[in-house]
Structure 1
Amino acid sequence: MSAHGIPIPMMSYPCGPIKGEACIPGDKSISHRSLILGALAIGETRISGLLEGDDVLDTAEAMRAFGAEVTDLGGGEWSVHGVGVGGFCEPDNIIDCGNSGTGVRLIMGAMATSAITATFTGDASLNSRPMARVTDPIALFGAQSIGRTGGRLPMTIIGAVDPVPIRYVVPMPSAQVKSAVLLAGLNVPGKTVVVEKEATRDHTERMLVGFGAEVTVEDTLEGRVITLTGQPELRPQTILVPRDPSSAAFPVCAALITEGSDVLVPNIGLNPTRAGLFATLREMGADLTFENEREEGGEPVADLRSRFSPHLKGIDVDSNRAASMIDEYPILSVVAAFAEGSTVMKGVKELRVKESDRIDAMATGLRKNGVDVDEGEDWWIVHGRGHSNVRGGAICESHLDHRIAMSFMVMGMATQNPVGLDDGSPIATSFPIFERLMSSLGADLKRSKP
Structure 2
Amino acid sequence: MLRAIYRALWWVVAPLAVLRLLIRSRRERGYREHIGERFGYAPARVLEDDAPLIWVHAVSVGETRAAEPLITALMKARPDARVLLTHMTPSGRATGAQLFGDRVQRCYLPYDLPHAVRRFLRTWRPSLGIVMETEVWPTLIDECRAADVPLVLTNARMSARSFKRAARFGAAAREVFGGFSRVLAQSPSDAERLTALGARNVAVLGNMKFDMATPPELVARGRAWREAIGARPVWVAASTREGEEALVLDAFAALAAPQALLILVPRHPQRFDEVAALVERRGLRCMRRSEWGGAALAAAAATHVADAPLPRDVTVLLGDSMGELGAYYAASDVAFIGGSLLPLGGQNLIEACAVGVPVLIGPHVFNFTQATLDAVAAGAAVQVADPSDLARVLGELFADKARRVAMGAAASAFAARHRGATQRTLDVLLTLLPQDGGVQA
Does the alignment reach a TM-score above 0.5? no
The structure with the largest helix share of the pair is 2
Structure of higher RCO (CA pairs closer than 8 Å, 6+ residues apart)? 1
The structure with the largest strand share of the pair is 1
Q: TM (normalized to structure 2)?
A: 0.35
Q: TM (normalized to structure 1)?
A: 0.35
